[in-house]
Every structure is written in C-alpha cells, then in structure tokens.
Amino acid sequence: MTRPIVILRPQPGTTTTAQRVRAAQLDPIAIPLFVVVPLDWTPPDPSAFDALLFSSANAPRHAGPGLAALAHLPVVAVGPGTAHTAQSAGLTVIETGNQDLAALVARQPAHQRLLWLAGRDRIALTHPAIRKIIPVYASEPVRLTLADADRMAGGVVLIHSSRAARQLRAELDRLGLPRTSIRVAAISARAANAAGTGWERIAVAAAPNDAALIAVARSLAIDP
C-alpha cells in the first residue's frame, strides 16, 4: 500500500502542492503548520534602489498597498512561482532563480541596489547588493493536534524549509510523540539537517523545487 503524502505548507502553497501530489498519483494530506499574515510596513524612497528581491511568493501576495509605491522597480525572484505571483501583481520580473536564494543573490553585481521584501522569519543572508530588508509578511506557527499527528503516522511528510522541519520536530516533542513511524522528504540538505534524527527514513530532493521533492517522496511512499 502506498503511503500518504503529508503537506505542511500554509495556503495557498498547500493547495498547489496537493495538486502536484495528486498528479503524481499519490494521496495528499494537508496539515499546515503555519498561517501567513501581512505585516504593517512603510515603503522606503524607491530612488534608493534598483530592484526588488522576492524570496517567496508571499511577499508580493501579502505586501499590500505599500507595494504600489515600488511597482516601477523590476523584480529579482527566487523561482518561477514567485515570479508568476509578482507578474500577477503587475510587476516586471527581470531575473528568475531556481529556488536557490543564496545562488541567486550571489549572481547579483555588488553595485546592484536590492530592496528585499521578505518574511519576518528568513534565512540569514548578506551580500553587498542587499541594501535593505523589510519584512512584509509573517508565517505564524499553528499548533499540531493529536488527531493531526495520528494522520501523519505511516506517511511521508514533505519538508519545504528548515523552519518547517524545526516546527514539526518541536510539535511532536511537545505532544510526546515518537517520529519512528514517519518518513521525511526534505527539499534541501539544510532542511533535512534541521529535521534531526529519529524518523523512520529521511531523503533529500535532487533539486530545491516541488517536482524533485515529490519525486523523492514518491520513492519513500512506495518503498516498504
């Protein structure tokens, strides 16, 4: 019997990944560990910047009316999904990465003046091109219930970030539940390391994107 695939992402990522899981002929279970909320922020003087940096589609999705003051600035987006959301918001994307934020930023010239509209909780990243960071949204944790934890047992959990890995581990520990019946598919080695040990099995996607993550999850789901 094929194991179900557990999705921890907040909406709308939950629905997007669930559609991809179904397309792979696997059964998704949605148990979001976070809910995304907008933050109050004040747009800076746009003349101080050459472009916007988006490390998540949540930035253009939740930036709110303040984004209008910066709408003439082009966008450097971490991946295709983020680029699509930025374009849907009326912005112009000039560069799209492959979901590897560090590699994307490393390619930027030092004289580039980037304004990073980010999440409140984000990876630590420095580069001369990043001139200012403004949090415009936050991913607030959601408590795991015993019922949700029971649904995870025997499944394959998709870990999309290091923070999600830490949150899942902390919630299972809070509930006093073992991890030995859960398999983990991590989107990166960093996320896998954050998940720690004690899982039935853990595997890392070949690339930091949903397609590769679901592919490695499939191998975990059908392997006895």
pLDDT tens for 78-87 read 999 999 999 9
Q: Write the single-letter amino acid at 174.
A: R
d(CA 59, CA 56): 6
Q: How many residues does the chain have?
A: 224
Predicted confidence at residue 93, as pLDDT, reads 97
pLDDT at 99 over 90: no
Domains and CATH numbers, the chain: 5-33+142-222 (3.40.50.10090), 36-139 (3.40.50.10090)
CA distances from residue 160 to 50, 78, 128, 176, 186 in whole angstroms, order as listed: 30, 14, 27, 23, 6
- The reported pLDDT for the residue numbered 208 is 87
Can you tell me the mean pLDDT for 140-155? 94
**Nearest in space to 13 (alpha carbons), one of 34, 27, 39:** 34
Tally of CB atoms within 10 A around 176: 8
Specify the pLDDT at position 124.
86
CA 206, chain centre distance (Å): 16
Q: What is the pLDDT of residue 214?
A: 96
185-217 confidence digits (pLDDT tens) = 999 999 999 999 999 999 999 998 899 999 999
Distance CA 53, CA 68 (A): 15
**Average pLDDT, whole number, for the chain?**
94
